Amino acid sequence: VGENLSSPTQAIAEHHSDVTILFTDIKGFTAYSSKISAQKLVMFLNSMYSAFDEIISNWALHKVEIIGDAYFVSAGCPVPAEGDKVSASEYAMRAVEVGMALLRTLPTVCDDTTVQMRVGLHTGSVVAGVVGKKGPRYHLFGSTVAYAEKMESHGVPGKVQISEATHELLVQGEHSYEFEERLISVDGQDGVDRTWLVNRSNSTAAFQIQKKLMTQ
């Protein structure tokens, strides 16, 4: 990928399976931003996203993009060139733990209790590619990305909502969480979809993964 970024005339497109996508969005952001100064707003966003960047770095995930008050993260793409092979189940777990850490972080950078965050996750196949000639960027595309965004937008403030595909990976990996099942109607989808809210973190497994990452 690095070589392709330095040669923007050489387009790349890679297919990756079992990638977990995470989206966040802030409920109450528009109202909050309208009642504070521009300087305070920029300070808030800088503090929040700096803290978020540190969290995803600690979990070895990838920040794809910031879109206003929304944060777009991938787990399992791009794949590190070196190091231990990480299962799709573990990447899904890392994404859940990151989502819960982001929720815990928001109140530390914003004292307005009306400002809350939704987090949504979905796992599936994506297309990764470097786009743009001026300042080319590595980006992810596909229905998995779109559905992860739906998991966020149809989610609950203060909660991590995961799709059925992500839930299945966590169960297969025997990662112990407390889930609350939901049935929701998603825009553009027929019928209702099964989703789960994650109500409790898997602290033991999370500690083991963090310990492993610290030694790499």
Give CATH superfamily name and number for 2-207.
Nucleotide cyclase, GGDEF domain (3.30.70.1230)
Model confidence, pTM: 0.88
For residue 70, CA distances in Å to 94, 157, 174 come to 19, 14, 30
pLDDT at 204: 65
What secondary structure does DSSP assign to 76-118, as a single string? Answer: SSSPPSSS----HHHHHHHHHHHHHHHHHHHHHH---TT-EEE
Q: Which residues contact 204 (CB under 8 A, 6 or more apart)?
A: 176
How many C-beta atoms surround the C-beta of residue 155 within 10 A? 25
| Paired tokens of 6 | 């330095």
Mean pLDDT across the stretch 184-199?
89
**Distance (Å, whole) CA 216 – CA 196:** 32
- Neighbouring residues of 27: CB distance < 8 A, sequence distance ≥ 6: 115, 116, 117, 118, 157
pLDDT of 49-90, one tens digit each? Answer: 999 999 999 999 999 999 888 999 999 999 876 566 889 999
Q: What is the mean pLDDT of the chain?
A: 88
Does the pLDDT of residue 131 top 90, yes or no? no
Cβ contact 49:41 at 8 Å: no
pLDDT at 201 (0 to 100): 66
pLDDT, tens digit, for every residue of 132-165? 888 788 899 999 999 999 999 999 999 999 999 9
Which residue, chain included where needed, has tokens 């790349």?
12
Residues 7-18, mean pLDDT to the nearest whole number: 74
Is residue 4 pLDDT above 60, yes or no?
no
Among residues 179, 196, 24, 180, the alpha carbon closest in space to that of 98 is found at: 24
How far is the C-alpha of 176 from the C-alpha of 143, rounded, in Å? 28
Q: Where are the domains of the chain?
A: 2-207
**Largest CA-CA distance found in the chain, in angstroms, rounded:** 48
Two tokens, residue 137? 């960027």
